[in-house]
Chain A
Amino acid sequence: MTSAVELEGVTFAYPGGKAGIFELSLAIAPGELVVCIGPSGCGKTTLVKLIAGFFAPQRGTVRLAGRDATRDSVRSRGLGIVFQSYALFPHMTVRENVAYPLRVRGAAPAERHARARAMLELVGLEGLGDRLPAALSGGQQQRVALARALAFEPQALLLDEPLSALDAKTRVAMRDELRRIQRRQNIATLLITHDQDEALSLADRVAILREGRLVQTGAAREIYDRPADGFVAGFVGRANLIPGEVAGAERVDTPLGAIATPPHGRSRGERVLLLIRPERVEVAPAPGGVNTFAVEITTDRFLGATRQLDLACRGTPLRIETLSRGDVRFVRVPPEAVQFLAAA
């Protein structure tokens, strides 16, 4: 099947600096929702601008529905874009905003009106068509922006940090709403965010961007369970990254002490990086037993459902997440919870 959006070896370097997008290849299938995630300054917005056509790549190809669109203008690409600050036209009513793409295409007023009504219904804003954007809440403005971007049946949807301007509660509700609408319209979508919860919960596929390069793409679970390196592990979810040296077939020496691991097939003396997810560390009642370490609590964050503890184990920090309410003096790391990453 032809990809709705396909980037091949796309490079765009900002003049002078190291910032930009480098040798980036990514394909989005029709109807697929890809979430691109990375720390601020990693080139996320640049990526959107390259696909949208605001920037032209110095090397590489942008294809839309299989057609080379690298040199096409923004207008002729026909992509729906939702900007971080929504960019609603302040002097137009909600209905006029949503109908704008049809207006510039010369559609008759009756058709524009009907389409705007249908789109507002889709995003759950029927009845607010006569308001001005300034009279709407942030979440409602977000919906208008989405309705407007979808009104002309674009080939694909680009969402640049669409939820970052909303308060926490609205953000979670809008996230589900976004997913519902995207599914219903069955439109290829690239969503840009720095919020890992957003990425993991929304995406068909997650793409991790670091300093202008894609470091890993895959399903949310795959990224979380098998991160490509320490950066991905630390960026997606919380992580204990512990350096060590292979001491045996199922043993690694670390600052915590010797840790028993699953069989790893690495040679003795090799430097490795171990990943231990905080939620997989168990609280132990007493010393003794495999991978059981004495710890001291440095920070105790009670989060309601769980408790996040920063521990010190022989001076090395170890984060855990536990349901236990009592004192924590010993922890156990199940050997199967220890993963090997390429040492950075």
Chain B
Amino acid sequence: MPPPPILPKAMLPRWVTAAYLAYLAAPILLLLVGSFGELWLNTLLPAGFTGRWYREVAADPSFRRAFGTSLFVATATGAACLALGLPLAYAVFRARSPAVRALARGLYLLPVALPALVLAFGFILAFSSDALPWLGSVWLLVAGHTVLCLPYFLQAVVADMQRLGLGLLEDAAESLGGGARQRFFHIVLPALRHSIVSGLIVVAALSIGEFQLSNLVAGFLSRTYPVVLLQAFYGATGFACAATVILLALALASAALGAWSAGGAATLAFHRR
């Protein structure tokens, strides 16, 4: 009889999962601990408890400004992705030729493969000229974020269209007498609401956390939160931790906001007669 294995088979995946989760959560936990710690120098954990760092970040004008900018950019990027992405996804999905569909897919997924840095350099070249002097404006930032985030939105929505068999649902609605507008508001939008919401969550989280492009393209007054955050790490540890925790909260909150607003819009459209 073979000896029993030291670790029962079923236990191994659990251990791996637990270890991975710990690895994932540890930095976030440390940030939380650090943000409330009074003093943290060369010890495993900080000493003392204080809310001072949060108060300092909240009082810092450049952080306050960046916070607002990040929220605005994320919201505007989400809106742009919705306005551009939905028709685009629809066009890709409805394209008759498989070659066109494959080409479109390759094109819209390109920004994922492209480093954001490349896009940023392109922006600097194009928009620092006298003809297009928009470098440093918040709108250029929104445009850049939209380019970076759109692929993820499209991917989510196109995949959902295929999964649902949206073409057939529309055919059915048409045969039942639904016009193009009715089909869009009664069938397309509500049927896709889950993927629209999850797409927007991804867009919001990406936009809030985006650093590479923002760092190069943002002007002094249109710096986003992550760009300003970099400065914090040259100062007190507690301050840096608190500022980072706020970024985390901001990303989560905007994701939730994106989900809530898109869900609301879809429900509204669905119940309109």
User: Per a CB cutoff under 8 Å, which of A87, A91, A103 touches B273?
Assistant: A103
Residues of chain B at interface, number, CB under 8 A: 21
A104-B171 in contact (CB<8A): no
Q: Select which of A74, A80, A81, A104 is within 8 A of B182 by beta carbon.
A: A104
Which residues on A sit within 8 Å (CB–CB) of B270?
Answer: 91
Nearest residue in A to B270 (C-beta to C-beta)?
A91
Task: Say whether A85 contacts B179, CB under 8 Å.
Answer: no
Interface membership of chain B positions 107-144, coded 1 if the CB is closer than 8 angstroms to chain A and 0 otherwise: 00000000000000000000000000000000000000
- Check if A10 is an interface residue, CB within 8 A of chain B: no
Tally of contacts, chain A with chain B, CB under 8 A: 60
Whether the Cβ atoms of B182 and A91 lie closer than 8 Å is: no
Q: Which chain B residue has the least Cβ–Cβ distance from A73? A: B174
For chain A residues 74-122, which have a beta carbon within 8 Å of chain B? 74-75, 78-81, 83, 85, 87-91, 100-101, 103-105
Are B178 and A87 in contact, with the CB atoms below 8 A? no
With a CB–CB cut-off of 8 A, which chain B residues contact A90?
Answer: 164, 169, 191
> B46 an interface residue at 8 Å Cβ cutoff?
no
- The answer to whether B175 touches A89, judged by C-beta atoms less than 8 angstroms apart, is no
> Which bucket holds chain A's interface residue count?
20 to 34
Residue B172 CB within 8 A of the other chain? yes
B178 with A75: CB separation less than 8 A: yes
Decide if A63 is an interface residue (CB 8 Å cutoff): no
- Residue A332 is within 8 A (CB to CB) of chain B in the complex: no
**Chain B, Cβ-Cβ closest to A79:** B175
Contacts of A149 in B (CB 8 A): 175-176
A75 touches B168 (CB 8 A): no
Question: Which A302-335 residues have C-beta < 8 A from chain B?
Answer: none
The yes or no answer to B173 lying at the interface (CB within 8 A) is yes
* A104-B168 in contact given A78-B177, A91-B270 (Cβ < 8 Å): no
Contact A104 B175 (CB under 8 A): no
Which A residues fall within an 8 A CB radius of B?
52, 54, 74-75, 78-81, 83, 85, 87-91, 100-101, 103-105, 148-149, 152
